[in-house]
Amino acid sequence: MSQITVHVLDTALGKPAQGINVQLSAWRAGQWQLVAQGVTNADGRVVGLLPSEQVLEAGRYQMHFELEAYLAQTAQPLFYPYADIVFQIGGDGQHYHIPLLLSPFGYSTYRGS
């Protein structure tokens, strides 16, 4: 399993959000550097975001969710064209699950398991 996993649930429609572009970046040398990217599947997950053997170094990371196309496709109002979640990890190889609960006028997240 990837060290970083992601899941997007559309709380307005009550189902997983398919087709959202997701980018994982690391904060290095004063800027965000792309580490991995993917698209959510029918279950709202990006499978294999990172190779299972890859262990990220300690530091600050950002999960960027492109929401505009998804909201247009599902005929929902656009208020947040994207959502960025910034989080910090240790370099111990621990698993981090980054879920996004999405609706047209808000979103939330938590550290999942």
**Which H, E and C letters describe the chain, residue by residue?**
CCCEEEEEEECCCCEECCCCEEEEEEEECCEEEEEEEEECCCCCECCCCCCCCCCCCCEEEEEEEECHHHHHHCCCCCCCCEEEEEEEECCCCCCEEEEEEEECCEEEECCEC
Query: 33: domain range?
Result: 4-109
pLDDT band at 1 (very low <50, low <70, confident <90, very high): confident
pLDDT at 102 over 90: yes
Instruction: Retrieve residue 32's tokens.
Output: 């965000």
Q: Which residue has the tokens 């294999």?
A: 48
pLDDT tens, 71-94?
Answer: 999 999 999 999 999 999 998 889
Q: What is the pTM of this model?
A: 0.94
Virtual CA dihedral for 32, 51, 59, 27, nearest 10 degrees? 0
Q: In this structure, what CATH number is given to the domain that contains residue 33?
A: 2.60.40.180
Structural domain total, the chain: 1
Contact present, 23 and 33 (Cβ < 8 Å): no
